[in-house]
Structure 1
Amino acid sequence: MTRNRTFTIVIIALLCLLAVCYLWPAGVGAALPFNSRSDLWDPGKSQQQPVYTFPRAEKTSYQMDLYLDTLNRTIYGQSLISTVNSSGGVLGELWLTVYPQAFQSKGLSPAPAAAYSQGFSRGGMQIKQIQVNGENSEFLMEDISLKIMLLRELLPEQEIDIRISWLAEVPRVGYRYGTQDGIFMLGHIYPVLNTLTADGWCLPTNIPFGDPFCLSAANYLVRINAPQHYQLLTSGEKIAGLALDNGRENHLFKAEMVRDFSLTAVSGYEKLQQQHQNTTLNCYVPPRLKEEGKQMLAEAGRILEYFNCMWGSYPYGELNLVVAPMHGFAGMEYAGVVYVAENQLSSPGLGNLLAHEIAHQWWYGMVGNDQYDEPWLDEGLASYSASLYLNYRQATTSSTPMAVQAMKLDRALPEFSGPDQYHSVAYQGGESFWWALEEELGHDKVQKILRSYLAKYKYQLASTADLKQVINQEAHRDMSSFFSRWSL
């Protein structure tokens, strides 16, 4: 059966099932109606991935069925993860990240106290059942990781279907995972496969700053049942919807080659919209902030067009901006979605913030990296990109806007003493690396390096070693002495 025909059959089946009422809150959900293989999309030829061996983006898909219960702040979910054992060896276990587990207790929550406007509110995830290739599997929760013990080892290149029934509890907190003031911010809501390297599994831990994730890109097909008065914005394109007679609505979203699938549900928000080339820019704001939203939308359009010209086009049909009552972060990036904290709208640094978060659509989104072990890769590059844009807007050609000396950049999140040192090294130090590289090689050569970096690792995961290789190749010389200044 051809891929196009397979995809058509899956879509028709899902459209028929849009009218089916959900029974999950009362008990067990129906089986997922999806095709069990990951060939719903063809992203093109795979690219070399020397460090991260599993899962491979072009061989992985997530198909999910979600029921959002806003009254009880819960999401009932069923996931089907289809992939292939690309590790080159036998797998006896699988590891996934379950980020809602970070919010189980007041002492462990990464959210600052100010984010809990009504006092501490618990979040978490319950795993109801796991099947791997049709067989029930034992599992164990460890911190924000989920370990699946396999009954049968998975052979190299063996197809893998992982079915998970789960329930996520959403805390009442103004954070990237939580709900407050009419908005559900549901970043990293679902179980997601961890990555495997030649040295073993990437197993992030719960840390109250930074992004404790290392995510492979994948394809997503997601059906969401939610109250009709909530607008949904996600990392994907809405391809179908059906209003039900019980005050709820079924939505069907598709996303191709995205680093994660973000879900946000808003009630009482204004939706502003502009078209920029092939991308629809949406901005969701509380009505009282509509004028600020218009200004932010216009600035985001200019930023998007600048980055498109610099490195290559933004690959998705929509980019969603959300003004959120978020604490602990000024902004936050997801595939196709940017959060801006409400308290940043009047800040003189709003343009820099927007440019930084939109730059992440290239550096983190298209070219991924281990944000837990090598956070400087995406944060430093996003900061440098934002400064490039601001210099362009101000018609200046100044070099580094900050006096940060060379430092050890290659540090994992646990190696930082706290958020201040993390920001100083990953953001400021990482940006300084790129300005210093401009001084060494010139502005045009650095932009060529970035275009090559994007071309080679688009939709893949890149390491510091991978980036150094690209720089050496484009510089046509050994840059070891330069790298040593940054302990790379």
Structure 2
Amino acid sequence: MKTLRIWMIVLVCMTACNPLANTTPVPFVPSTLNDELAPYRSALIPASQSDVDSLDRATRYDLTLTYDAVKYTLAGAQDVLYFNQEIVPLNEIYFRLFASYPDSGGMIAINRLAVDGAAATATYEAQNTALKIPLARPLPPNGSTRIRLEFTLKIPPISKGHYADYGFSNTVVTLPSVLPLIPVYDDKGWHIAIPPRFGDLVYADISLYAVTMTVPSKMNVIASGSTLDARDNGDGTTTWRIVAGPMRDFDINLSDQLQRSSTTIGETTIHSYYEAADAQAGQDALKIAADAFREFQNRFGAYPYRELDIVETPTTAGGIEYPGVIVVGRELYSNPSQRDFFEFATVHEVSHQWWYAMVGNDQVNFPWVDEALAQYSTLMYAEAIRGKANAQQVLKNYFQNLYDRAKTAGRDAAVNQPVAAFDENDYGAIVYGKGPLFYDAIRKKMGDEKFYQFLRTYFAAFRYKIAYPEDILKTAESTCTCSLQDEYKQWILSPAK
């Protein structure tokens, strides 16, 4: 496979990041009369700005946030414009409060609540990770409502969480999925179950975000979307204005310690943020991410956003994806023996910008829909960048061996199951090991040309939407005009527990 080589201009920050020095404001798209969507276009490259026009009924989050670096709290006011896009009236609306996830050590308290300007009451459910807001009148299909929440978030030490992915440390404050978020409503109702911590938490529709955040002036805000400006308030604080969307979630990281390297590919800038002691690894992460970005754009379809951030954090999960942001664990930066996995994890998380961030899925009940394809995407990267022999090692070491160990132990299972159906070890072996072998099997049957056509078609059909397991099979079969039932049964549906 031919790899396109593009000259990159790399800008390296050799001192700790200063927010004003490191802010590269995006061009603001001027608003025309009554054009409420204009600000969100600023987060997209020019060729993709019209995407917003078809999302005029997407949920809009307008947030004002203030971070207290002494108390480790985040005070927020969130105004939400929600459209009922279902075919039934809604009697209530839920928000997920993942900042209060049971083992995280954090907590979010809703201090005030109003619906369409009137004070409202709500109840906490799902161990305080869901807020149920009864509506005074049912919200009809195509109807809209405005909800205001004022809240205070207590940020825990980062070591408290299961994967050390949420909280404050000596180098970075990580705030993943902590803002109140409306979950998916479908024929099963509102999705408010608490997933196991070893799976992903968010199952949400595409939304639009406008965020104003005030932080100590020494801090850099690394977040989903793009910065419009960062204004020094003259009192030791700086206020950042950020827009994001179409995105399923909004991730925030704060730091006055991380350095930055950047590269621009087309009209998208990729930033790598890393600790000073890990400067070489941080620059390596940038190159790896850039190579993966080019390959995935070529194979799957265009990345529409102006920015993509890679952030070194203390997470022990290897890597975690968020819309427009990926985080990679400090241990992978600093440990030379982990270099192969460092590359693998970085590429895997970059691929999630296509599989999860843009093509959404129910990560709680059908986690393989994004994870298995993200895994196989790393093999395609290895083929393009490292050669076919390296790609076969990826298949053997990261997929086949992982699955074989579970199978030998008598722990084979169907891939098409919820996260809660697995224990943590089996989840990795079956979803991350066995799952991508399905894609390898259908690629061999379809041939490369049809297989890549299938991926492009699948991406185009479900970008900004929710894809389900049957959508993968139907799209693949319609592309190759062949039956893939045997492969689907062998690798995805069998054996049943």
TM-score class, shorter: 0.7 to 0.9
CA shift at 1:428, angstroms? 1.2
Say whether the 8 Å CA contact 1:57–1:459 is kept in structure 2.
no
Q: Residue 193 of structure 1: which of 179, 182, 185 is its match? A: 182
Which residue in 2 is equivalent to 1:117? none
CA shift at 1:204, angstroms? 2.9
Which residue in 2 is equivalent to 1:252? 241
1:155 is the counterpart of 2:144: no
Say whether the 8 Å CA contact 1:273–1:281 is kept in structure 2.
yes
Which residue in 2 is equivalent to 1:229? 218
CA shift at 1:61, angstroms? 1.1
Which residue in 2 is equivalent to 1:395? 387
1:210 is the counterpart of 2:160: no
For the residue of structure 2 that corresponds to 1:355, the secondary structure is helix
CA distance in 1 between counterparts of 2:449 and 2:473 reads 18
Say whether the 8 Å CA contact 1:125–1:167 is kept in structure 2.
yes
> Map of 1:226-375 to 2, 5 A cutoff?
226-327=215-316, 329-345=317-333, 346=336, 347=338, 348-375=340-367
The runs of 5 or more residues in structure 1 that have no matched partner are 12-40, 47-55, 103-107, 111-121
CA shift at 1:226, angstroms? 0.6
Which residue in 2 is equivalent to 1:78? 77
Which residue in 2 is equivalent to 1:20? none
CA distance in 1 between counterparts of 2:35 and 2:253 reads 26
CA distance in 2 between counterparts of 1:310 and 1:9 reads 30
CA distance in 1 between counterparts of 2:99 and 2:271 reads 27
1:431 is the counterpart of 2:419: no
Deviation per residue, 1:424-468 (Å, 9 max, x gap): 122112211111111221222121111111111111111112222
Which residue in 1 is equivalent to 2:110? 127
CA shift at 1:415, angstroms? 0.8
Segment of structure 1 superposing worse, 149-158 or 335-344: 149-158
CA distance in 2 between counterparts of 1:43 and 1:312 reads 14
Which residue in 1 is equivalent to 2:90? 91
CA shift at 1:302, angstroms? 1.2
CA distance in 1 between counterparts of 2:218 and 2:132 reads 37
> Map of 1:37-116 to 2, 5 A cutoff?
43=51, 46=54, 58-102=57-101, 108-109=102-103
Which residue in 2 is equivalent to 1:415? 421
Q: Which amino acid aligns with 1:354?
A: T
Which residue in 1 is equivalent to 2:121? 138
Say whether the 8 Å CA contact 1:299–1:351 is kept in structure 2.
yes
> Map of 1:156-175 to 2, 5 A cutoff?
156-174=141-159, 175=164
TM-score by length of 1: 0.84
Q: Which amino acid aligns with 1:192?
A: L
Deviation per residue, 1:66-89 (Å, 9 max, x gap): 011111111111111112111111
Segment of structure 1 superposing worse, 377-386 or 444-453: 444-453
CA shift at 1:317, angstroms? 1.0
Deviation per residue, 1:43-79 (Å, 9 max, x gap): 3575xxxxxxxxx885221111101111111111111
For the residue of structure 1 that corresponds to 2:388, the secondary structure is coil
For the residue of structure 2 that corresponds to 1:313, the secondary structure is coil
Which residue in 1 is equivalent to 2:484? 479
For the residue of structure 2 that corresponds to 1:164, the secondary structure is strand
**RMSD, matched Cα:** 2.2
Deviation per residue, 1:345-386 (Å, 9 max, x gap): 231221111110000000011101011111111111100001
Say whether the 8 Å CA contact 2:226–2:307 is kept in structure 1.
yes
Which residue in 2 is equivalent to 1:445? 450
CA distance in 2 between counterparts of 1:90 and 1:173 reads 41
For the residue of structure 1 that corresponds to 2:33, the secondary structure is helix
Q: Which amino acid aligns with 2:117?
A: G
Q: Residue 381 of structure 1: which of 373, 383, 388 is its match? A: 373
Which residue in 2 is equivalent to 1:454? 459
For the residue of structure 1 that corresponds to 2:493, the secondary structure is coil
Say whether the 8 Å CA contact 1:177–1:188 is kept in structure 2.
no
Segment of structure 1 superposing worse, 181-190 or 291-300: 291-300
CA shift at 1:308, angstroms? 1.3
Higher helix share: 2
CA shift at 1:9, angstroms? 11
Say whether the 8 Å CA contact 1:57–1:217 is kept in structure 2.
no
CA distance in 1 between counterparts of 2:57 and 2:329 reads 34
Segment of structure 1 superposing worse, 243-252 or 342-351: 342-351
Structure 1 residues 9 and 93: alpha-carbon distance in aligned structure 2, compared to 1, 3 A threshold: closer
Say whether the 8 Å CA contact 1:367–1:461 is kept in structure 2.
yes
Identity %: 24
Which residue in 2 is equivalent to 1:181? 170
For the residue of structure 1 that corresponds to 2:366, the secondary structure is coil
CA distance in 2 between counterparts of 1:459 and 1:359 reads 15
CA distance in 2 between counterparts of 1:291 and 1:475 reads 44
Say whether the 8 Å CA contact 1:64–1:80 is kept in structure 2.
yes
Q: Which amino acid aligns with 1:326?
A: T
Structure 1 residues 210 and 222: alpha-carbon distance in aligned structure 2, compared to 1, 3 A threshold: same
CA shift at 1:214, angstroms? 0.5
CA shift at 1:254, angstroms? 0.8
Q: Which amino acid aligns with 1:472?
A: E
TM-score by length of 2: 0.82
CA shift at 1:409, angstroms? 1.2
The runs of 5 or more residues in structure 2 that have no matched partner are 1-29, 40-48, 405-411
CA distance in 1 between counterparts of 2:258 and 2:171 reads 8
Q: Which amino acid aligns with 1:260?
A: D
CA shift at 1:3, angstroms? 6.8
Q: Which amino acid aligns with 2:118?
A: E
CA distance in 2 between counterparts of 1:84 and 1:259 reads 15
